[in-house]
Amino acid sequence: MSESQGKIRFVELKGDVCIASATCCVVAGEIFKHDAAKRTTNMLCKNGSLTQLKVAVEELVLSEGAANTGSQDAALSSAAGMCPVAAIRLYDAEGRRLEPDSLEAM
C-alpha cells in the first residue's frame, strides 16, 4: 500500500444511526454534506451523487492536497471520532473496521 492511499480504504455513513449533527462537516466539509431541510448528512462522491453507503475512499470528493498526501485519513478519522453517535464507519483494505482513536497517531 502506498503512503498516498492511506490506511482507510472504505467509508460508510450509517443513515439509520446518523442524527445529522453535522460535526463531520466541520472537519471534512469536502466529503460530508449536511441538508438542514431534510435533516440528513451524506457523503459526496466524485460523480456528484450523495450517499450513506459503504464506498471506497477513491470515490469520494477529497481536497487535492488530502488525496495526494494520504491526509484524508486524518480528516476521516477526525470526522468519525467527533460523531456523537458513531455513525461514520471506517474500514481498511481487508474490510476490517478501524477505530478512529487507532488512527490518531498517523
Q: Over the stretch 40-71, which tens digit does the pLDDT of each residue have?
A: 999 999 999 999 999 999 999 876 655 544 67
CB 100 within 8 A of CB 70: no
Backbone torsion region of residue 14, taken as left when φ is above 0, otherwise alpha when ψ lies between -120 and 50, otherwise beta: beta
CATH-assigned architecture of domain 10-93: 2-Layer Sandwich (3.30)
Stated pTM of the model: 0.84
Place of cell 471520532: 81
- 76-94 residue pLDDT tens: 999 999 999 999 999 999 9
